[in-house]
Amino acid sequence: MKNNDIAIVIPSYNEVKNIGILIKSISRELGETKIIIVDDSSVSENKKLKDIIKGKRNIKLISRLKKEGRGSAVLDGFREVLKDKNKKYIFEMDSDLAHDPKEMKRFIKQDNGGE
């Protein structure tokens, strides 16, 4: 598994307190993986999100001007990922820490025959 084979879409709304924790957890499990954060017009959190991802070239923030909902945030993230035709795995993770990044690693390992 190569880290550049993987992309993770994270829809977010008022979850800035969890984003940093989630990014660290993803990095610990998968290294420098492409991450797309789609902020659904969070109340006054955009600058904080930008500060968290500052200097991280593998992370892109899509800031939406009006709230359009979680589903369309995921779709916007997928559209962004699909601009890069080289991704083998695309995951979606909740920004509230409900999903464990270890599960992605297990999935990929199993998909590769347990390697």
Q: What is the CATH number of the domain that holds 107?
A: 3.90.550.10
**Overall domain count for the chain:** 1
Which range marks the domain in which residue 25 is found?
A: 3-111
pLDDT of 2 over the 70 cut: no
Q: Looking at beta carbons, which pairs linking 46-54 to residues 24 or more positions away fall under 8 Å? A: 48/16, 49/12, 49/16, 49/19, 52/16, 52/19, 52/20, 52/23, 53/23
- pLDDT value at position 115? 61
Closest residue by Cα to residue 9 from 66, 69, 79, 63: 79
3-state secondary structure of 75: helix
At 53-84, the pLDDT tens digits run 999 999 999 999 999 999 999 999 999 999 98
At 87-96, the pLDDT tens digits run 999 999 999 9
pLDDT of 24 over the 80 cut: yes
**30 confidence band (pLDDT: 50, 70, 90):** very high
- pLDDT value at position 1? 56
